[in-house]
Amino acid sequence: MDYYKRFADAILKNRLKVSGAVLIQGSKGCGKTETAIQAAKSIARLDVDNDIRIRMEIDPGSVLTGNTPRLIDEWQEYPSVWNYIRREVDDRKKKGLFILTGSANPEERARLHSGAGRFSVMKMRPMSMFERGWSTGEVSLESLVRGKTPKSQTPEFDLDKLIQKMILGGWPGLLGADSHDALIFLQDYIKLLAEIDISRVANIKRDPLKVMRLLQSLARNISTEASVTSLAKDTGNVTDETITGYLDALERLMAVEPLPAWSPHIRSADTLRKAPKHHFTDPSLAIGALGLSAQKLHADLNYLGLLFESMVIRDLRIYADVNDGRLFHYRDSRGLEIDTIAEYPDGTWAAFEIKMGFGAQDEAAANLLKFSEKINQERMGAPSALTVITANGFACRRKDNVNVVPLSVLTA
């Protein structure tokens, strides 16, 4: 199968120029290894190569011998390799020596010495709409953040095709697959998370049935701020502490990726909510957790709208990564809510509302303008863009200076 170019390719190339080693973090199946292979000159597969396993027991340092950049795949299988790499980077005093990939983050105590100044960490997610070839790329997030007026043709829109794209998600392993195959893949993925992966990463046997119920609860509450107590009650007969432990393990597996709350300076005395919004690394996992079909999704447009919001968040995270941007959500004590804010290291920020229907833009635009007025712009600066992202329509700038951009024309 041909390799589909990823935005992560350029990010990895740049990181190798400035760091001795680059750690690629990402969920199982998102394409980390294939992306790393494009840049690597030699490979050590710590999870499947028996010879490598023997060498790790006898002479761990020898595993690092090979042409550079050398890919150390699934490094978390032997966390001690982190320190050997750190020493090699110190001794060789060169850039771009190693690439590490892993589908789970070991606990911090496994890293016996800091990798600061030696390691660069980048995150990978499943493929975006543009990377899958499902977006025309007529409008870039970067151009929106720079204040450029978006323009595009009206892309073809079909609700059934949108649902199919949600089911297929951004998984490289589903390139060329149909919805039936994708639903089997997703259900197997969720089952393995519940029965094997979460216990392995936590080093504690977890109850697969309770983990499955939690995954289903997260799926039902996707794109919401459901509390730990609410999730515990929904999961059944578990404590808040247990749910917190499960969530920590799922985050370390990078199967779920909460959207944190934004804490800007505001003009009013309203208090800001601090709870994160629940998202899977790809919204297709919510479909797999609940065992949904295309027909069931078509019959519940409200839930489909929540999945669409999560799909947009996935893509915006991928596009924002290109320029080191981070995503947040906003909600205050008066109930004013903004779906996501992209913030960049130089202080630039832009706000986005997400509406599946092009016709809902008026309400979303009014919300963005109200939000913009509430922010203390003397301290935070003015937003570089206010944008409504939709599933259909065309890209334009309204008379009130709010942009409207369909997801299917967006890129980084």
CA distance 249 to 79: 17
State residue 76's pLDDT score: 84
**146-175 tens-digit pLDDT:** 999 999 999 889 999 999 999 999 999 999
Residue 199's contacts (CB-CB under 8 Å, 6 or more residues apart) are: 205, 206
Q: Please list, in sequence order, all residues whose beta carbon lies within 8 angstroms of the beta carbon of residue 96, skipping any fewer than 6 positions away.
A: 16, 17, 19, 20, 22, 68, 69
Structure tokens at 405: 């951009």
Q: Which range has the worst mean pLDDT, 104-118, 191-205, 353-367, 373-387?
A: 104-118
Q: What are the b/e assignments for 23-34, b being 16+ CB within 10 Å? A: bbbbbbbbbbbe
User: Could you give the CA distance from residue 207 to residue 228 in angstroms, rounded to a whole number?
Assistant: 18
- Rounded alpha-carbon distances, angstroms, from residue 20 to 26, 83, 89: 20, 13, 6
Buried b (16+ CB within 10 A) or exposed e, 88-124: bbeeeeebbbbbbbbbbbbeeeebeeebeebbbebbb
pLDDT tens profile 237-249 = 899 999 999 999 9
3-state secondary structure of 335: coil
d(CA 69, CA 21): 8
- Give pLDDT, residue 112: 43
DSSP, residue by residue, 61-79: GGGG-SSSSEEEETGGGST
CA 297 to CA 355: how far, in whole Å?
17
Q: Where are the beta strands (DSSP E) in 79-126?
A: 98-102, 119-124
Q: What is the pLDDT of residues 111-129, one digit of tens each?
A: 545 566 788 999 999 999 9
CA distance 10 to 7: 6
- The upper half-sphere exposure of residue 245, i.e. CA atoms within 13 Å in the direction of its Cβ, equals 16
Average pLDDT score, the chain = 93
The pLDDT value recorded for residue 1 is 65
Q: Is there a contact between 172 and 286 (Cβ–Cβ < 8 Å)? A: no
> Which stretches does DSSP call E strand in 76-182?
98-102, 119-124, 139-140
Phi-psi region of 322 (alpha: psi -120 to 50; beta: other; left: phi over 0): alpha
Lowest-pLDDT range of 13-17, 25-29, 76-80:
76-80
Phi, psi of 355 (to 5 degrees): -135, 130
Residue 292's nearest CA partner among 194, 169, 207, 195 is 169
Q: Residue 180 — pLDDT band, cuts 50, 70, 90? A: very high
Q: Which of 170-174, 202-206, 221-225 has the least mean pLDDT?
A: 202-206
Evaluate the omega torsion of the peptide bond into residue 69 and state whether it is cis, within 30 degrees of 0: yes
Residues 300-345 pLDDT 10s = 999 999 999 999 999 999 999 999 999 999 999 999 999 999 999 9
Q: What is the pLDDT of residue 110?
A: 47
175 Cβ partners below 8 Å, 6+ apart? Answer: 1, 4, 132
pLDDT digits (tens, 9 = 90+) for 16-60: 999 999 999 999 999 999 999 999 999 999 888 778 878 887 888
| pLDDT of 299 over the 70 cut | yes
Q: What is the pLDDT of residues 333-379, one digit of tens each?
A: 999 999 999 999 999 999 999 999 888 999 999 999 999 999 999 99
Range with the lowest mean pLDDT among 45-59, 215-229, 258-272, 321-335? 45-59
Task: With beta carbons less than 8 A apart as the criterion, state whether 294 and 182 touch.
Answer: no
